[in-house]
Structure 1
Amino acid sequence: MALKNVIGIDHAVVMVKDLDKSAENYKRLGFTVSPRGTHSAHMGSGNYTIMFDPDYMELLGVLRPTEHNEPARAFLEKSGEGIERIAFTAVDSAQGAEEILARGYTPVGPTDFERPVMLPDGTESSARFRTFQWPTVEAPGGVRIFACQHKTRETVWIPELMKHANGAKRLKQVIIVAPEPAKEAAHMSKLIDREVRNEADGAVAVPSGGDRADFLFLTKDQLGKRYPGVSLAGLPERGGAGLVIVADVTAAEKVLGSVSVKSAGGIVVPPAEGNGTMLAFVKG
């Protein structure tokens, strides 16, 4: 039975080495990027968000080492930049944590935190969250998962931040490469109680729930065949590889120009240009 308090992918976390430079890079790629957020001293991190509907991307950087961000620092040291974890939307994080505990997974949290938010009218407010994590060792394809309950959606989904020059609208797929895609997909399927879907080329999809983006597990070679002409240089053999984004493809092509490649019916930014994350812009 599917989890009642987890309703699909909420956002993708792209771990970066230089937070401000990554934000400038994503602006260059035609995204509207939020003002910089700073998390609590306990977390020791900061972020920029790229808001879609109903999901988003988060550029996350370590501002000072803490016990909390040790896994993120280990990821940067081992893998470099890229998709480090995926968040699900939690209806109620406390109840969601109880749900996974009943399935044999000891949750980390729930944890409450907030960050200051500068609103478009110049006033300051805050974004408040309650999150819980699956155990760190439960990371299908090397990607950690957690769930996020938004207490103040109005300070996160700000209309002015949801319009992008590249036409980006929402996430369609989170791509994870692995030598054994079926094994990793089965792991994800078990963690979130969703059925796998086998695809013709051997890739395996796992719906995240509702109308939200799917996970797609495949080998690096299979990814290359799906996106001919796109350099996959810098991607790991096992780990988060990219995001498929529903967009106005004509707008994306106009904005991205020579940074991108036409492939698989869409416009694709190679990982080297996307802070370790391939970005495929496709029609809805």
Structure 2
Amino acid sequence: MALKNVIGIDHAVVMVQDLDKAAENYRQLGFTLSPRGTHSAHMGTGNYTIMFDPDYMELLGVLVATEHNAPARAFLERQGEGIERIAFTAIDSAAGAAEIRARGFTPVGPTDFERPVTLPDGTVSAAKFRTFMWPTAEAPGGVRIFACQHKTRETVWIPELMRHANAARRISQVLIATPEPAAEAAHLARLIDREPKAETDGASTVTSGGDRADFVYLTLEQLGKRYPGVPLTGLSGRGGAALVLVSGDLAATEKALSAAGIRSGAAVVVPPARANGTLLAFIAG
């Protein structure tokens, strides 16, 4: 039975070495970025968000080493930049944590935190969240998962930040590389009470809930066959590999991406080496 207080994918976290350089890179790819956010001293991190509807991307960087961000630093040392974790939307984080505890998983949290937000009119407000994580060891395909309850959606989903020159509208799929797609998909399915589905190319898909993006587990070879002609340099054999983004206008996407974009079948693709360790595949929708 599916979790009641945790619905589909909320956002994808792309871990980067140099936060401001990564932000400028994504601006060059036609994304509109939020002003830089700074988390608490305990967290020691900062971020930029790239807002879609109903989901978003987060560029996350370590500003000061702390005990809290040790797993993120270990990820950067082990794999370099790329998709480090995926968040689900929590309707109620406390109730969601209780749900996974009842299924035998010890949650980390819930934890309340906030970060200051500069609004388009120049005023400063706060984005407030309550999150919990599945146990750190429970990371199917090497990607950690957590749930995020937004207590101030109006300071996160700001209309001016949701319009992108590259016409990106939402996340359609999160692609995770692994030598064992079926086993990793079954692992995630157990964590979120979903059923994996085998694809014809050997990949395995797990829906995240509602109208949100799907998880797709596949080998690097299978990923290469999905996007022929796109170099996969920098991707790990096990870990977050790609985001499939729905574009409202692929011609605008190609124009915004310029030389960074590669036509591959029906998609326009940015190789991982051009997007901080994350392959970005834009599709019509």
Instruction: Compute the TM-score of the two structures, normalised by the length of structure 1.
Output: 1.00
Residues in 2 aligned to 1:109 and 1:84: alpha-carbon distance in whole angstroms: 19
Amino acid at match of 1:196: P
SS of structure 2 residue aligned to 1:101:
helix
| Runs of 5+ consecutive residues of structure 2 not aligned to the other structure | none
SS of structure 2 residue aligned to 1:86:
strand
SS of structure 2 residue aligned to 1:97:
helix
CA shift, 1:257, in A, is 1.6
Number of the residue aligned with 1:124:
124
Amino acid at match of 1:86: I
Number of the residue aligned with 1:230:
230
The percentage of aligned residue pairs carrying the same residue is: 75
Alignment map for 1:70-219 (pairs within 5 Å): 70-219=70-219
User: Cα RMSD (Å) of the superposition?
Assistant: 0.4
- Summarize deviations over 1:100-149 as a string: whole Å, max 9, x none: 00000000000000000000000000000000000000000000000000
CA shift, 1:260, in A, is 1.1
SS of structure 1 residue aligned to 2:163:
coil
Residues in 2 aligned to 1:19 and 1:258: alpha-carbon distance in whole angstroms: 23
CA shift, 1:91, in A, is 0.2
Q: Runs ≥4 in structure 1, deviation > 2 angstroms? A: none
Residues in 1 aligned to 2:197 and 2:171: alpha-carbon distance in whole angstroms: 18
Residue 249 (structure 1) aligned with residue 250 (structure 2): yes
Residues in 2 aligned to 1:95 and 1:3: alpha-carbon distance in whole angstroms: 10
SS of structure 2 residue aligned to 1:30:
coil
Residues in 2 aligned to 1:215 and 1:195: alpha-carbon distance in whole angstroms: 11
Amino acid at match of 1:164: H
Instruction: Compute the TM-score of the two structures, normalised by the length of structure 2.
Output: 0.99
CA shift, 1:264, in A, is 2.8
- Summarize deviations over 1:216-247 as a string: whole Å, max 9, x none: 00000000011000000000000000100000
SS of structure 1 residue aligned to 2:113:
strand
CA shift, 1:198, in A, is 1.1
Amino acid at match of 1:266: A
| Runs of 5+ consecutive residues of structure 1 not aligned to the other structure | none
Residues in 2 aligned to 1:194 and 1:182: alpha-carbon distance in whole angstroms: 13
Residues in 2 aligned to 1:144 and 1:91: alpha-carbon distance in whole angstroms: 20
Aligned length: 284
